[in-house]
Each structure stands twice: as C-alpha cells, then as structure tokens.
Amino acid sequence: MTRSTGSGQGWRDDFGDRMLRSTPLPQAQLVRGEGAYVWDDDGKRHLDFLAGIAVNALGHAHPAFVDAVSRQAAILAHVSNYFATPPQLALAQRLLRLAGADEHGRVFFCNSGTEANEAAIKLARRTQRPRILALEDSFHGRTTGALALTGKPALREPFEPLLPGVEHLPSTIEALEHAIGPDVAALVLEPIKGEAGVRDLPTGYLETARVLTAEHGALLILDEIQTGAGRTGSWFAFQRHGIVPDAMTLAKGIGGGFPIGALVTFGAASGLFEPGQHGTTFGGNPLATATADAVLAEIERAGLVENAARRGRQLRDGIAGLPLVAELRGEGLLIGVGLSAEVAPDVVSTALELGLIVNAPNPSTIRLAPPLIIGDAQVEMFLALFAKALEAHA
Ligand SMILES: *Cc1c(COP(=O)(O)O)cnc(C)c1O
C-alpha cells in the first residue's frame, strides 16, 4: 500500500523506510518558508530561531536569494574548474574585502563546511610538520579529516583509525602554551564553539593563540563556518579580537541556504598549495557563487551585521530574566542559553508544539541562531513563546 506523504504522520514511516539510518528521526516535515517563518505539512506556522543551523541568513524565500538563484540558473549554472566565471571572481573579491585581507589574500571554493576544513587540513599538511592541534569539545565536520579534528570522542570513535597527528587540547591558554612547538603545522579552532553549546573561548585566548602560533611558525586556522557572515555582530568573529588568522573556513551562512564552502587564506599561507594539489568538481560554480554573492551583498545593503548585534542584545536582555535560565553565552545572533536543569530537549519539543523552532546542542543548552533579518516583532514573539516553553519545565 502507498502511504500518504502529504500530511499527518505518513512521512515518519517513509523516512524510516527510505532514508539511511545516519541521522535521528526528524521532528516535523516542513513544506514552505517565508522570512523568519516556516510551515509544516499540517499548515502550522513556526517561528524559525534556528535558521537551518545558522544557514538561512536572509530567512526563507528572500527576494535577493530567489532572484540570484533564478537569474544565474538561466545564465550559466556549472562549467567545471577548467574555466573561470564572473560570479566566482566577484564572490572571492567580496569575501576578501569583508575579511579585511590584503593583496596576499586568496579563496578556494567548495560545497560544505566539512570540505572547507578538509582543504584547511591539506593546507596544514603543506607545512610538512606532523602535528595538528585542535580543541576538546570542538566540531569541524563529518568527513574523516574534519572528524579527526572534531573534539567529541563519541563522534570519532566509531570511525577510527582516523588521520594521525591530531591532538585535542583543553580550551585554556596554559594547555596551548604547553602543546605548541616547532613541529606543529596548525592550530585549528572555532572562535565560539557552536556545537559544544555555544561556548566562548577564555578572554585573551585568540590573541595569545595568534602570538604563539606566529612564534612557532604554525598556522592559525579559524573555523568560522558557524560564526562567519555577520552572525556574531561582526563579519567574522576574529575581527573583534584585532588579529588576522593564516586561514579561515566558511560555509553555512555565506550561501544563505545554497550549499557552498570556502577556505580563505591570508599572507604567506596563500602560497602553500601548488596548482593541481587540490580541487573539486562543483566548488565555486557560478550558481553557488552568484547566490552567495547576492546573499552577502544583501547583508551589507540592509545592515544585517549591525542588526545581528542589536537584536542579539535585545534578545539577551529579554531572556536573562526567564525561568531556568542560568547563563547566556555567544555573541550577536549566536546565543547559547545555559539552563539550570538538563531539560533542553524537552524545552525544544514544547517550543515546537507552540510554533517555535530552537535547538538543544546538549541536555542543558538551548541554541538560538535566528535569521539575521529578524526585527522587533519577531524578538517579542520569540520571548513570549520561549518563556512559555521554559515555564513548562521549570
Ligand atoms: C556545521 C559546522 C561544520 C561542518 O559543516 P558542514 O557543512 O555540515 O559540513 C564545521 N565546523 C563548524 C564550526 C560547524 O558549525
């Protein structure tokens, strides 16, 4: 018998029957989106405060996104990397300008965050040094190289042995001072650890990491896949620390929903690859790069980086007094709400029933990553719904 896929619960059975068991069962089936809202297959509207995990920077179905995809699909979608295209060069130029790179800055395009980190690992290998330092509790992706960097043993262990030479350090300046040396190729880290529950680094960590890596000739590689593209209230999180890394990896928000990743290199690191040493069929194709360029142009035009900072403050002020709230972490519109009890998954379920999408990266944290376009009305609506969801479990 053919099951219904349009509404009700049929999709759950279909999912179990057809999708590989590599992810948990989804919470709902979504069919449409507009702005900060999505609709499920029962026609119920949800306020989306996760934005596809910090991806939908412009929300859903934004005219700038829709126009860019449609227009470029009708002009030229894909040509392979044997050919240059105008959108690819335009996006590279925009990213380098926004990152504050000088004339040595370069960009490599790929299709996802984990692939950007694979490129970064190969860049590190080019130093011919054997050790790569990463942080405990970090997340860098699911392909085997990026997984080796990921500081979550439960994710790594089922797939070992992985890339050798990777060490996971506690996130303290002392641990870094102890581990750094002339045989270190790179230190790879997230400026704010998103999947760990939006965990900030200790004050002064990035500044010290820059000094120590430079002193020992190691690369400082920042994974800004979750923090980049304006989410934290600056274009890239490192820019609030007065440092420049040797490389950074990007994905998620730069495409606003179109799959794209990038490795941006600064200074001498830009000269480590030789022609032919890395590549990808889809990476940097005109459809993806035209869309990402339009998304970033709209973030600039509409002042959404400033909006992320302002709405972030407004949200923090409103959340601070709510039940169960013990701690607020993160920056701008990447917020970790630390709860005083391990009820985050229950809060997520109740919120969904109320028409609010949030996420629990661990049992005591709610992560908020709304679209950068949110305004006053959505912040107020969020605070009312979130208060109800928390009260239900206080
Ligand atoms: C999401 C994420 C990745 C992996 O990106 P994918 O596009 O899922 O491969 C890597 N690093 C960080 C910090 C992320 O948040």
Distance 222 CA to ligand 1 centre (A): 12
Pocket test for ligand 1, best of 140, 224, 231, 232 (most atoms within 8 A of CB): 140
Closest ligand 1 atom to 53 CA: 1
CA 167 to chain centre: 22
Amino acid 5: pLDDT:
46
Residues with CB under 6 A from ligand 1: 112-114, 117, 139-141, 190, 194-195, 223, 225-226, 251-252
Q: Which residues contact residue 97 at a Cβ distance below 8 angstroms, ignoring those fewer than 6 apart? A: none
Distance 68 CA to ligand 1 centre (A): 24
Token pair 């990921």 is found at 150
The overall pTM is greater than 0.95: yes
What is the token pair recorded at 321? 């007094």
Determine contact, residues 358/50, Cβ cutoff 8 Å.
yes
Distance 371 CA to ligand 1 centre (A): 17
Token pair 């262990």 is found at 157
Helix (H, G, I), strand (E, B) or coil at 334: strand
Ranges of residues in the chain whose predicted pLDDT is under 50:
1-5
Distance 257 CA to ligand 1 centre (A): 14
Pocket test for ligand 1, best of 195, 254, 334 (most atoms within 8 A of CB): 195
Token pair 């002009």 is found at 75
Distance 55 CA to ligand 1 centre (A): 10
Closest ligand 1 atom to 143 CA: 9
Helix (H, G, I), strand (E, B) or coil at 222: strand
DSSP assignment of 161-185:
S--TTEEEE-SSHHHHHHH--TTEE
Pocket test for ligand 1, best of 114, 117, 150, 224 (most atoms within 8 A of CB): 114
Q: Which residues contact residue 315 at a Cβ distance below 8 angstroms, ignoring those fewer than 6 apart? A: 333, 335, 368, 379, 382, 383
Amino acid 9: pLDDT:
75
Closest ligand 1 atom to 195 CA: 15
Amino acid 8: pLDDT:
63
**What distance separates the 2 farthest-apart alpha carbons in the chain?**
67
Pocket test for ligand 1, best of 226, 254, 280 (most atoms within 8 A of CB): 226
Q: How many helices (H) and strands (E) does the chain have?
A: 13, 17
Strands (E), the chain: 30-34, 37-40, 45-48, 106-110, 131-135, 166-169, 184-189, 192-193, 199-200, 219-223, 247-250, 261-265, 325-331, 334-339, 356-357, 359-362, 365-368
